[in-house]
């Protein structure tokens, strides 16, 4: 694989709390390639969310490098806001803006960050909203939507910024079981369209079906990684075997 | 000492003085609450800043305001300002002396701003951290996040306390009588001097303060209830 294909290089990423007593990330090194659908699994407290949040520096790492398109974003004097525009993020608790309508949620960042004119922003927002089947809720407020609808809107909100990569932080964990499917469907469609994605999830079905790489984390380190077949059919490390026995 | 209807009717001859006092008190409180809010906002932004010196200045200021008596603050500001600036002897509406009104409004605002800054900071900190994260992940700067996402939501939390502060200021503005601002309390003292009746003018003043504060706080409570209801849409 050529280096042009590498989108994010993570090198020896460490995140310590309380001095160095709590090691949330203990030396992570991994590459995310263009078009990857990487799924990160692991027990809670394994550092998988911290890893994901570090990728766009919502979590400031203690040490290590994150190189995006050849630029180390952990360095000083980096226009972080510019880099964040390339990375869409979807949160466990949606984090829609409650004081804005759905449409405003989608258009605010394109308008004030990218200085798009309102017409363009609204047009694209409506197209994307239509694709997730929520065009009729454009004028509603987030509080009037179900959890599954909120999360679909949150995905569209990130997409409106035209990101090169999408980060999903346990996007279905706060949803009622019957709403998980509708959100996963949107994510599957995104993956099919070739979007580069890094997803932290407990949905093993999604990992197996959609992911092209699965990463198993435990204790702040990557314990094992590989194709879904390898991870789920022939896990090597005892910790992964143990984890899979519990969740499958 | 006795309280008599006769005394009241003698005091009521001075009703126009009380009326003027009422106007001054209301005007003083309104100016104070507006200036105080601006100051409080600046102080709150300073205390939330990542610059250490700004945070320190804000903390020190708030503690000085809180740990010294308001009357002393008013007196200091009056002598300080009238010492530096020679205010022209201008009277607003013919009876509000600008040279006393302005120092009073400024010192009340400096005091109120110190108290309100904590309320504003609390309102901002009360907004879920996820809101900031979502905004920043979309590429918004810190400033844009504050302006478009955090502050509009925080205002809703802040508004009731802000209105309550208005009620507090109406009452506390009575301290400005010490620098001769002709608000309600000062006018009551004037009537005392003119009539040699000590108690009844103060009753009139009390009644006026109550008539200002009680309805205002009821109106605030009403809107607070309605706003809370609209949250549960």
B139, A109: Cβ pair inside 8 Å? yes
Q: What's the pLDDT at B21?
A: 92
- Mean pLDDT of the B88-93 span: 79
pTM assigned to the model: 0.82
Provide the token pair at A120.
Answer: 């363009």
CA distances from B79 to A221, B65, B72, B113 (A): 67, 18, 11, 20
Provide the token pair at B141.
Answer: 């700067």
- Mean pLDDT of the B76-104 span: 86
For A206, other C-beta atoms within 10 Å of its C-beta total: 23
pLDDT in tens, A26-79: 999 999 999 999 999 999 889 999 999 999 899 989 999 999 888 888 877 778
Q: What's the pLDDT at B230?
A: 59
Percent of chain A at pLDDT above 70?
A: 98
Percent of chain B at pLDDT above 70?
A: 97
The string over A75-107, giving b where at least 16 C-beta atoms fall within 10 Å of a residue's C-beta and e elsewhere, is eeeeeeeebbbbbbbbbbbbbbbbbbbbbbbbb
A contacts of B144 (beta carbons < 8 Å): 112-113
The DSSP symbol for A164 reads S
Contact B201, B3 (CB under 8 A): no
Interface of A with B in 67-86 (CB under 8 A): 81-82, 84-85
Please give the residue that has the higher pLDDT: either B28 or A3: B28
Nearest to B134 among A82, A91, A112 (CB): A91
- Mean pLDDT of the B185-194 span: 92
**By mean pLDDT, which of A145-149, A219-223, B4-8, B174-178 is the weakest?**
B4-8
| pLDDT-derived band at B1, boundaries 50, 70, 90 | low
Q: What's the pLDDT at B61?
A: 96
For A165, other C-beta atoms within 10 Å of its C-beta total: 21
> SS3 helix, strand, coil % of chain B, rounded to 5?
80, 0, 15
Nearest to A95 among B133, B140, B148 (CB): B133
For B71, other C-beta atoms within 10 Å of its C-beta total: 15
Mutation pick from A59, A104, A112, A159 vs chain B, by most beta carbons of B within 10 Å, is A112
Q: What's the pLDDT at B231?
A: 61
CA-wise closest residue to A224 among A233, A215, A234, A213: A215
Average pLDDT, chain B: 90
The DSSP symbol for B145 reads I
Q: What's the pLDDT at B233?
A: 45
B131, A113: Cβ pair inside 8 Å? no
A85, B141: Cβ pair inside 8 Å? no
Q: What's the pLDDT at B114?
A: 94
| pLDDT-derived band at A248, boundaries 50, 70, 90 | confident
CA distance B139 to chain A (A): 5
Q: Rounded to an integer, what distance in angstroms lies between the CA atom of residue A62 and that of residue A76?
A: 14
Nearest to B139 among A81, A143, A144 (CB): A81
Q: Is the pLDDT of residue A1 over 50?
A: no
Pairing of strands A6-17, A63-68: antiparallel
pLDDT in tens, B20-49: 999 999 999 999 999 999 999 999 999 998
CA distance A93 to chain B (A): 8
Task: Say which CATH class B5-232 falls into.
Answer: mainly alpha
């Amino acid at each position: 694989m050529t280096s042009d294909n590498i989108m994010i290089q993570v090198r020896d990423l460490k995140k310590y709390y309380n001095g160095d007593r709590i090691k949330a990330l203990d030396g992570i090194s991994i590459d995310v390639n263009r078009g990857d659908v990487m799924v990160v699994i692991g027990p809670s407290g394994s550092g998988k969310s911290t890893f994901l949040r570090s990728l766009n520096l919502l979590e400031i790492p203690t040490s290590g490098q994150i190189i995006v398109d050849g630029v180390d974003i952990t360095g000083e004097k980096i226009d972080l806001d510019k880099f964040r525009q390339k990375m869409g993020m979807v949160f466990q608790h949606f984090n829609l803006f409650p004081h804005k309508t759905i449409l405003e949620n989608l258009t605010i960042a394109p308008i004030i960050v990218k200085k798009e004119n309102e017409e363009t922003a609204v047009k694209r927002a409506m197209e994307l909203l239509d694709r997730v089947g929520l065009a009729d809720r454009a004028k509603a407020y987030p509080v009037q939507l179900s959890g599954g609808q909120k999360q679909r809107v949150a995905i569209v909100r990130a997409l409106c910024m035209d990101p090169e990569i999408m980060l999903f932080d346990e996007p279905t964990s706060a949803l009622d079981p019957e709403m998980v499917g509708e959100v996963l469907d949107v994510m599957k469609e995104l993956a099919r369209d070739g979007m580069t994605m890094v997803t932290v999830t407990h949905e093993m079905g999604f990992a197996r079906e959609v992911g092209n790489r699965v990463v198993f984390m435990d204790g702040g380190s990557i314990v094992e990684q590989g194709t879904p077949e390898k991870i789920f059919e022939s896990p090597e490390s005892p910790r992964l075997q143990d984890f899979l026995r519990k969740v499958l | 000492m006795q309280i008599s209807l006769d005394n009241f009717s003698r005091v009521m001859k001075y009703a126009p003085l009380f009326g003027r006092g009422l106007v001054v008190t209301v005007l003083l409180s309104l100016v104070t609450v507006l200036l105080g809010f601006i100051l409080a906002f600046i102080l709150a932004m300073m205390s939330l800043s990542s610059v250490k010196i700004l945070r320190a200045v804000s903390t020190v200021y708030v503690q000085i305001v809180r740990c010294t008596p308001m009357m002393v603050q008013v007196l200091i500001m009056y002598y300080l300002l009238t010492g530096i600036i020679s205010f022209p002897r201008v009277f607003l509406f013919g009876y509000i002396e600008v040279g006393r009104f302005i120092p009073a409004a400024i010192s009340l605002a400096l005091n109120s701003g110190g108290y309100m800054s904590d309320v504003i900071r609390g309102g901002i900190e009360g907004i879920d951290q996820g809101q900031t994260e979502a905004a920043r992940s979309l590429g918004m700067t810190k400033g844009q996040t504050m302006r478009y996402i955090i502050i509009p939501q925080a205002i809703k939390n802040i508004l009731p306390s802000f209105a309550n502060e208005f009620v507090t200021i109406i009452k506390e503005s009575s301290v400005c009588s010490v620098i001769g601002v002709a608000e309600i309390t000062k006018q009551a003292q004037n009537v005392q001097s003119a009539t040699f009746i000590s108690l009844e003018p103060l009753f009139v003043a009390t009644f006026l303060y109550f008539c200002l504060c009680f309805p205002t706080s009821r109106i605030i409570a009403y809107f607070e209830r309605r706003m809370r209801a609209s949250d549960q849409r």
